[in-house]
Structure 1
């Protein structure tokens, strides 16, 4: 029997073996079956054989998952250790904790750390030796070494953890309540994102609620005549429509062409605001109205022209295909030239937040339009509107914080920005930035599809660039199309960190932290039973969220080319304007 052979293999390797009790006396069951056959009681022998077969399958599953509890425990402890280590790193490197936490005796701390490292090495070595004696796979050693390393690092910071714990409980209770409330909101949003992997319609309710709540807050904070509260609500509601649409995008050439006109109108509106809205203190930080260089205006008009030209090429290319005509090589060269050239132009635009982001939006519009077949082209414009609403919301909070601060605080903030000091420290309220980023980063994908739609994309989406079947090039174009909305979200995220003068790497570490919360949830949702689709989806969800950390880091490096020169007007002008 297969289960018994597996049992023998396990027993020969393990130092401590726990057998499968229901089959501990299998030989007597076999003897009984043979006796029933000799007695011609075939029905009873058949029933007993089926029962033994069921027990054998259970035994096979038991030995195949014999190490399941140990592996799940080690991996879960590894994730928890990594999350705690990230929290400690962010607190030590990117926050302004009181000096009492760091004013400890370093010599005593180094001695205790040495003992902790020595004990950690001994424990890890003993466990790895046991694994070696049991002929465990190399991955078992890797899991254990990484988990031990993380927890040794955490334990070595025990003095800091004690001081931090004491610092928290020396404060007023409302500080702890805020911390618990922020943690609860962060976990809730992370769990919301987990469930959105199987039901993308959840984003509809999310953005309907976000539009109402954000606009209501802004109505109470700034004059309604600014139009910002109404704009935030309408843009969020507009984006909420797309997750109600089918994941399989239907062809609609007219909609793609019309989207080009919508993108140009949005660009014109943003350009006008960048040049004329600087008189309002709610726009001063993101506009650079003092620099009206003619070459920047010429660049804007040229980008708008490329968007219009890409819309025209969408119409011509689709018309050729509809008439069963081969796409001309000239058309392909024009499409490649428009897509490539347009993505370089944002590097030469103005470096104020609104101007640079508008240029990035117009720069990536032509390739996205040329790769679109339906409503996803409108989604590109809707996502950009919501990202602008996010920036306006953060800009409003930035100005309100300066206005509500004391004169000394205003002076400190002003000097901080004018003299070019390093980023300010992270505060508890800054957690909203990485949380909003995660929601927008996920809607950038789920707004126009799901994981099933990737494998069934329409070939016409790449027809305007290539007409000969080339799977690798077609897949590269598809992945690039998926990247473009992500690039917009990360550029807006980088601009917001510069606007609020918060360390971007600190926010990125918080993104990793919340992603790990999702990863742990998906880890426990991985299935080894059910249909192939259910098993495959559970594994792919876990793998995608696990890889999201590296994926976001690579996109950060890519978009840094466009956002590293972004500058914000100083708080001094904003403060004087408010007074």
Structure 2
């Protein structure tokens, strides 16, 4: 019961620390209650058509071939003859939903929306669609509904295809063809339906075409593929047809503005989500009513290595931030800026009078200023008066001075001054918004760190105190300690009351109470259990503090090596080389030469994988088949060893039929992977039989290990075979070989540890049962246990980054799940990818459970040491989180913290999974044969 309470407390503390990063860095920036701002002069356009080519990279769009020909001849002609062009710089995470929110609503959405799959509205927000008179949109069911849901009234209409059409194995250009055909049908219907025609004839009308085909092609075939590049050409043809149809419908009245762009780009290996330039750079082409034509220049202001190949240096490039496009669309249509837009109006795109440009710039600035004022007032009302510090760069006097200066300059027709002052207002207001948005960050961060350090001290006391003998003469001291505990409890209650009162006066959210109470509770528990002086002396005699000084330094350096591996996977190889030499630093290499050689060879082979490219970039199914073959070969050898050992030790014979069935499943998995990818290459889709077999094998992989005996080696053999068959179905390249080598390392580790504490013959290791009753044999901690915990954490990190599965949030590769599903389904695909990531974790947990059983150490003590390791790394990454610099740096720092915290939380949960895998037995009759 005590262990269960501790596990619940540990889970709660780590979840609190995990949640704190979102409270500090990812709270919603939105405020409400502002007044709309609109440029007062007549709008240059009556309608705007927005084309968003999902997943389109800037270089793939702009580049030309050796002859100077473009794959997008229509839009290339627009750039050179009719419109303005540039690059839109997006922010992380480079996903479809946040990209569209930035484009259409003008603000950068917080990452908390990922919890709803980027599909639902975690908070209501305004958009140019909502501010328009009418908006018609066509495209994906994952994007369009969120803007209709957030709109007031009934003026945003959506037309979506079914989710089943988003098939990675099909011709994705058909999705874009569906959109183009439906828009043309819509225009034909407007000719017949006078009511629809009258709506379409209004001003402030928007048409939104979401084109998903390019994104699907990039995921399925990579951006360098012919499918991806041909899809870009198909989109260009469709855009040309739609523009011609719209111009014909409105009789070329010159009042239609067009904007072509993308929500995000894509990496060379077909993924997106992080901050690589191939993901954050998207094209912008704008033309039509109110838009500047091409500006010929002699010297391009942007000097970079990649745009030289585009052959556009003679035309001015007008780069924007993605959120700047929302105020641009609002200005062209003459509608209010979206309420929470933080974009800066790109005046270089406007072909209007200087007065209009100045008015629009000032309206854009005042809209952002009002957000600043609302946020300032909210913080002023909720903060304690004697603690409140206003934003000095834009105090009330400064703000009024700038606004008055802008209006006076406009009255005197000094439009350049108006624009300059407006830009200054925007810059200061955005700084103020950030200041108030992060106002409580230091307070929350200090509380969380102080509380988490107290939690780590408490864990350390739990590790040390049970290892100290309590003599009878300490009863008096213990009574005094009880008195001190009462005083400590009184101080804790008083501190809690004071903190509660202050938080209540501030009207703080409930989460702030949790962050403030954590340090009180954790330090009270830690202080109550701090060792006495005599206990420290006794621990010093047992552990010999001087003799463990060097190992302590090595442990610290080892943890720093793990931290470094999050930034450079290659450092894992260095650590594995050091682990390979471990047997030769002790007597193990003399007593157990075969085990030592196996361990060293396995570590050396494993050290190769962190040096290889991350998986998902290049598929190589032959490596998957090779891994399956090697697994069957090694399994046959292992089965013979189990057979001989069971005979010599008079153990029950292994369940040969069960193991033979599991080995067959490994072979079947390899055949399914090979046949599925062959079928997809032929564009024949996912065979139904392969899909059914894949899901069936996945289910069997969870159940079959529970039918095997609980003898340590026999149960581990069954677990490894089952998880390998499931893992193969989710692999596309060398990660299949990684799991094989990783499994060999873990098995060698088990035999290595059996020789350290109480050396036993290898045959006896085979006879140990996972149900071994060690309750009366559990021993005190030793320095070797710290090493075991470190190696365990090292293997956990290796499971993460050995093949680069989640080296960043940019790792999703849908081809890994093609044996199960090809139709886009983020939750199903995400669950399968998560299981692929967790399989090596489960193997490490099972090996760790085996080592704990062999070394007679209590589960709680060993797990506490592991928790201390991971918590130390977590607090390390907490301090390394940053929200400044490049978006790549910000994304990497946050993802590292999320990964280590997820690891800590998963370890708490996976320990239960490992317990089930190693000790649970189905009460079925014996059905195995005595011989193969």
Structure 1 length-normalised TM: 0.81
Cα distance change, pair 150–293 in 1 and its aligned pair in 2 (3 A): closer
Contact map agreement 1:235 1:385 (CA 8 A) in 2: yes
User: 2:590 is matched with which residue: 212, 217, 223?
Assistant: 223
Q: Cα offset for 1:162?
A: 4.0
* In 1, Cα distance between equivalents of 2:850 and 2:622: 34
Moved more, 202-211 or 352-361: 352-361
Which residue does the alignment assign to 2:521? 149
Partner of 1:176: helix, strand, or coil? Answer: coil
Which residue does the alignment assign to 2:749? 390
Cα distance change, pair 535–226 in 1 and its aligned pair in 2 (3 A): closer
Cα distance change, pair 25–505 in 1 and its aligned pair in 2 (3 A): closer
Q: Cα offset for 1:9?
A: 5.6
* In 2, Cα distance between equivalents of 1:110 and 1:294: 56
Aligned: 1:557 with 2:912: yes
* In 2, Cα distance between equivalents of 1:342 and 1:199: 33
* In 1, Cα distance between equivalents of 2:682 and 2:658: 36
* In 2, Cα distance between equivalents of 1:338 and 1:136: 51
Question: RCO (CA 8 Å, sep 6+): is it higher in 1 or 2?
Answer: 1
* In 2, Cα distance between equivalents of 1:508 and 1:551: 13
Cα distance change, pair 311–453 in 1 and its aligned pair in 2 (3 A): farther
RMSD: 3.7
User: 1:207 is matched with which residue: 562, 576, 586?
Assistant: 576
* In 1, Cα distance between equivalents of 2:426 and 2:699: 63
- Indicate the structure with greater strand content: 2
Which residue does the alignment assign to 1:233? 600
Aligned: 1:120 with 2:475: no
Which residue does the alignment assign to 1:500? 855
Which residue does the alignment assign to 1:309? 668
Q: How does 1:242-253 map to 2 (within 5 A)?
A: 242-249=609-616, 250-253=618-621
Q: Which runs of 5+ in 1 are unaligned?
A: 279-286, 403-416, 567-579
User: 2:821 is matched with which residue: 466, 470, 473?
Assistant: 466
Q: Cα offset for 1:487?
A: 0.9
Which residue does the alignment assign to 2:262? none
* In 1, Cα distance between equivalents of 2:417 and 2:690: 78
Which residue does the alignment assign to 1:354? 713
Q: Cα offset for 1:453?
A: 6.4
Q: How does 1:24-43 map to 2 (within 5 A)?
A: 27=397
* In 1, Cα distance between equivalents of 2:709 and 2:736: 26
Partner of 1:396: helix, strand, or coil? Answer: coil
Q: Which runs of 5+ in 2 are unaligned?
A: 1-368, 762-771, 922-932
- Could you give the per-residue CA deviations for residues 11-39 of structure 1, whole angstroms, max 9, x where no partner exists? 5532424646965998489779989999x
Aligned: 1:91 with 2:461: no
Contact map agreement 2:468 2:535 (CA 8 A) in 1: no
Q: Cα offset for 1:450?
A: 4.2
Cα distance change, pair 453–231 in 1 and its aligned pair in 2 (3 A): same
Contact map agreement 1:247 1:450 (CA 8 A) in 2: yes
Q: Cα offset for 1:61?
A: 5.1
- Could you give the per-residue CA deviations for residues 434-491 of structure 1, whole angstroms, max 9, x where no partner exists? 1111110111121122436665544332222234443322222211111111111111
Q: Cα offset for 1:110?
A: 2.1
Which residue does the alignment assign to 2:846? 491
Q: How does 1:148-227 map to 2 (within 5 A)?
A: 148-158=520-530, 160-168=531-539, 171=541, 175-211=544-580, 213-217=581-585, 220-223=587-590, 226-227=593-594
Q: Cα offset for 1:426?
A: 2.1
Q: Cα offset for 1:206?
A: 1.2
Q: Cα offset for 1:103?
A: 4.7
* In 1, Cα distance between equivalents of 2:802 and 2:398: 62
- Could you give the per-residue CA deviations for residues 278-324 of structure 1, whole angstroms, max 9, x where no partner exists? 6xxxxxxxx88524545523332332222223223333333333333
Contact map agreement 2:642 2:654 (CA 8 A) in 1: no
* In 1, Cα distance between equivalents of 2:685 and 2:394: 72
* In 1, Cα distance between equivalents of 2:676 and 2:721: 21
Partner of 1:360: helix, strand, or coil? Answer: helix
* In 1, Cα distance between equivalents of 2:796 and 2:378: 48
Q: Cα offset for 1:132?
A: 1.8
Q: Cα offset for 1:91?
A: 2.1
* In 1, Cα distance between equivalents of 2:498 and 2:808: 48
Partner of 1:325: helix, strand, or coil? Answer: coil
Q: How does 1:520-539 map to 2 (within 5 A)?
A: 520-539=875-894
* In 2, Cα distance between equivalents of 1:327 and 1:20: 61
- Could you give the per-residue CA deviations for residues 507-550 of structure 1, whole angstroms, max 9, x where no partner exists? 11222211111111111122222344433332232233223222
* In 2, Cα distance between equivalents of 1:4 and 1:540: 33
Q: How does 1:474-489 map to 2 (within 5 A)?
A: 474-489=829-844
Contact map agreement 2:800 2:806 (CA 8 A) in 1: no
Which residue does the alignment assign to 2:384? 14
- Indicate the structure with greater helix content: 1
Q: Cα offset for 1:227?
A: 2.0
Cα distance change, pair 142–454 in 1 and its aligned pair in 2 (3 A): closer
Cα distance change, pair 259–14 in 1 and its aligned pair in 2 (3 A): same
Higher Cα radius of gyration? 2
Partner of 2:883: helix, strand, or coil? Answer: coil
